[in-house]
Chain A
Amino acid sequence: MSDAATTSATPPAPRREIDLRAVAPFVALAALLVFGALVNPNFLGIDNLTNVITRSAFIAVIAVGATFVISAGGLDLSVGSMAAFVAGTMILFLNAAPVEGGVPMIALAMLLALGVGALCGLANGLITTVGRIEPFIVTLGTMGIYRALTIWLAEGGSIAMASRDLRAAYRPVYFGDVFGVPIPVLVILAVAAIGAFVLYRTRFGRHVMAVGSNEDVARYSGIKVDRVRTITYVIQGLCVAIAVLVYVPRLGAATATTGLLWELQAITAVVIGGTALRGGVGRIWGTICGALILELVGNIMVLSDLVSEYLIGAVQGAIIIVAMLIQRSLARR
């Protein structure tokens, strides 16, 4: 009869195959490592790998937040613009130098960044839930708003950290290490561990999954759906802010192009990691794995002459499509 009839007749997928989907990103990561090693012997060097992981920190951290939003059945396209906006306000605050001393200044600026990120996320969440508007549209709108605000604050140019001392004091947050482990790597691990804990082990995490699986069932089960949804956007905002905390010491500036296409990369990382775009399934460690895959692919392209590195965006775009196709075929089998 119709297509719908055919699919409804397929027997439900047994459990084992869902586990296969959870493992797939890690298999892909391993395969990529082997491939990289074959292409360039320097690839597997500790220096190169820590470098790759360090650079994946922004996307990895943002993608952890995106895992929450997407698991709850939402979507946030504004993360890249939001990152630029948070970075811009943070640097302006540092440049205004309202308090004495390098460390207190930076600490205060960090708090401000987290606050601004949370508020940006809250705005996304409230407009989506109270206004009952598709998150795609809401965050498409705020994507434009946050980006334009950044450009306006920068007066069309860039916002750079003015104080040389502050720069020096803040620098270790991106370039420093603890017992040889770069701080951004520690940040990834910490954010992912907290994210996994919240999503898998707490009542809130269970509510996120329930809302993403079926909003009506969640509502009839006494879950405050709007509140859960909104909080996922706030978590996304906080994750963006944490990524910015690591990003600012790297370049010390925010420009019109800061965070450009980060939303594409974050969503790609989440999807590669095995989280379902329709909601109800969230895989934090898969997301981290997805972010690493994206960065590794870029790294391999630079280290090899297979494809021009100008095509990195195209390859990443292709990866999200291929990842979806693989997920689909694993689900069908």
Chain B
Amino acid sequence: MSALAARSATAAAPVIAVEGLAKSFGPVEVLKDIRFDLRPGEVQAIIGENGAGKSTLMKILAGHLQPTAGTIRLGGEPVKLAGPVDAEHRGIVLVHQEILLAPDLTVAQNIHLGREVRRGLTLDDKAMNRSAREALDGLGAAIDPRAVVGSLSIAQRQLVQIARALLVPHRIVIFDEPTASLTPHETEALLKVIDDIRRRGVGVLYISHRLPEVKLLADRVTVLRDGRLVGTYEAADLQPADMARLMVGRDVSKLYPDRAAHAAGKPILEVEAMRVPGYVRSASFTLGKGEILGFAGLVGAGRTELLEGILGLRAAEGSVRLDGRPVRFSDARASMDAGIVYLSEDRKGKGLLLQQNLRTNLTLAALDRFTRGALLSPAREEEALTGAIRDFDIRTRRRDLLAGQLSGGNQQKLLLAKMMLLDPRIVVIDEPTRGIDIGTKEQIYRFVAKLADDGKSVIVISSEMPELIGVCDRIIVMREGLVAGEVSGAAMNEREIVMLTTGAGEKEAALAVEGTGP
């Protein structure tokens, strides 16, 4: 894969160029004086922290938003993009980060949604299935066009979405964090797809938080910070650490906190022969006091389901002992009362009420602490919000915003603050930094380390191996609903973990690590 980036794009005339681009929402200026150009056959990465303005820029380029100032030139011609449909007619397609497909329709029906092929008055399913198959074959995806989208994996749906976007004639493809919810293997496959698109002479704009990926794939890198352009660089000249520094504006080479190697304290949580029907066949592990325990594995290995089963969030059976005493949690309330909190990987769906304000979200799980009798005390809640904004560095323009209006990183901080109000002894964090920029990542890692230093125990579930290795004292690897093994100390490296997650031999593991590692 590292050969990908080596091929630099030809210095042809840019397919798209913007100059002096600015965007304000009311008095808030989110983009200012942005300039860059994209050449045909080039992958250009756009990187920046959450809130740096990447999404706004992409939405302007795809016609969803109108710029307040500046010009956009397509093939040298200044254009005004009237809307997403207009942008698409001009050959600009956007592949959204979220999956926007109808789950009950088939792959072909989704790909042709809104542009159905008809024969006379009726739909020509044959033609649509054929063209969908061709589109998917073009991406190297072995997906049956007649399959129902709801039955596909996230990665497969992503490919269907890409096939759908590429069905219209295009000169420019914009990818908005396409790998955010993919496993390393799936990511690798997707990067190949994008490379193929580049080979066809199409200009690709690529947004991602995963800097090693950017290094592998991109020809040039444009960095945004606080809505301004930091610069455009040749990817060959930058290391991921340089990119991080440019994004954050300070040195973040030390992403992971130092942690004194220490013996795990006495066992606090002991899980034996846990079974979660449909997900986990059998799993046992022990968590010590003051320990940070990682859970690695591919998506679908059953990590989230195991922890949800233990904490009473889904049906499960097996033996759980807390401080040596057998316990059985019937729901989240029961596990919270026992001092265990779970921060879901699905922040928007299971973590926060996006339509409610910050205060309501913050106190929701620990509402008992803010009542006198049955009566709520808004003043004490406000106090808690002030404390949370300070302690967790939640960056918000106004404190009466809705949770959904915060950036991903700040949502994660709010969710952390919410669960910490319960004063837990054991904290389970699922994908703590998914979709979060590097500056916030560092803060979250430091916070996790501090929890352990304070004698609390932490379980981190993550698909990012460097993160697990950087943060955890010990890592349990799951595969297909079973504990495949455990690594700690010197054995805690990507090769060992990949071997366990995939069940592959030494050689395959080494290959996989080279393909996706930093």
A contact set with B: CB distance below 8 Å: 1-2, 4-6, 8-9, 11-12, 14-15, 201-207, 209-210, 213-214, 216-224, 280-281
Question: A217 near B402 (CB under 8 angstroms)?
Answer: no
Chain B 82-118 per-residue mask, 1 if CB under 8 angstroms from chain A, else 0:
0111001000011010101000000000000110000
Chain B 219-258 per-residue mask, 1 if CB under 8 angstroms from chain A, else 0:
0000000000000000000000000000000000000000
Question: B353 near A5 (CB under 8 angstroms)?
Answer: no
Q: Give chain B interface residues in 336-364, CB to chain A under 8 Å.
A: 336, 342, 344, 346, 349-356, 360, 364
What are 29 contact pairs spanning A and B, CB under 8 A?
Answer: A1-B85, A1-B88, A6-B64, A8-B100, A9-B59, A9-B84, A12-B404, A15-B398, A15-B401, A201-B376, A202-B371, A202-B374, A202-B376, A203-B367, A203-B371, A203-B374, A204-B374, A209-B360, A213-B354, A213-B355, A214-B354, A214-B355, A216-B349, A217-B349, A220-B342, A220-B350, A222-B331, A222-B333, A280-B356
Number of interface residues of B (CB under 8 A): 49
- Which residues in A have their C-beta under 8 angstroms from that of B374? 202-204
- Which residues in B have their C-beta under 8 angstroms from that of A216? 346, 349-350
Question: A206 near B367 (CB under 8 angstroms)?
Answer: yes
- Which residues in B have their C-beta under 8 angstroms from that of A205? 376
- Which residues in A have their C-beta under 8 angstroms from that of B26? 14
Question: A280 near B96 (CB under 8 angstroms)?
Answer: no
**Nearest CB of A to B333, in Å:** 4
- Which residues in A have their C-beta under 8 angstroms from that of B356? 209-210, 213, 280
Given the known interface contacts A1-B88, A220-B342, the answer about A280 and B401 at a Cβ–Cβ threshold of 8 Å is: no
Chain A binding surface, main DSSP class? helix
Chain B 148-181 per-residue mask, 1 if CB under 8 angstroms from chain A, else 0:
0000000000000000010000000000000000
Complex Cα gap A9–B64 (Å): 6
B contact set with A: CB distance below 8 Å: 25-26, 59, 64-65, 83-85, 88, 93-94, 96, 98, 100, 113-114, 165, 313, 331-333, 336, 342, 344, 346, 349-356, 360, 364-365, 367-368, 371, 374-376, 398, 400-402, 404-405, 418
Q: Which residue of A lies closest to B308 (CB)?
A: A220
- Which residues in B have their C-beta under 8 angstroms from that of A1? 84-85, 88, 93-94, 96, 100, 165
**Nearest CB of A to B354, in Å:** 7
Most buried by A among B65, B331, B355, B401: B355
Given the known interface contacts A12-B405, A15-B400, A209-B356, the answer about A201 and B94 at a Cβ–Cβ threshold of 8 Å is: no
- Which residues in B have their C-beta under 8 angstroms from that of A201? 375-376
- Which residues in B have their C-beta under 8 angstroms from that of A8? 96, 98, 100
- Which residues in B have their C-beta under 8 angstroms from that of A9? 59, 64-65, 84
Most buried by B among A203, A206, A217: A217
**Nearest CB of B to A255, in Å:** 40
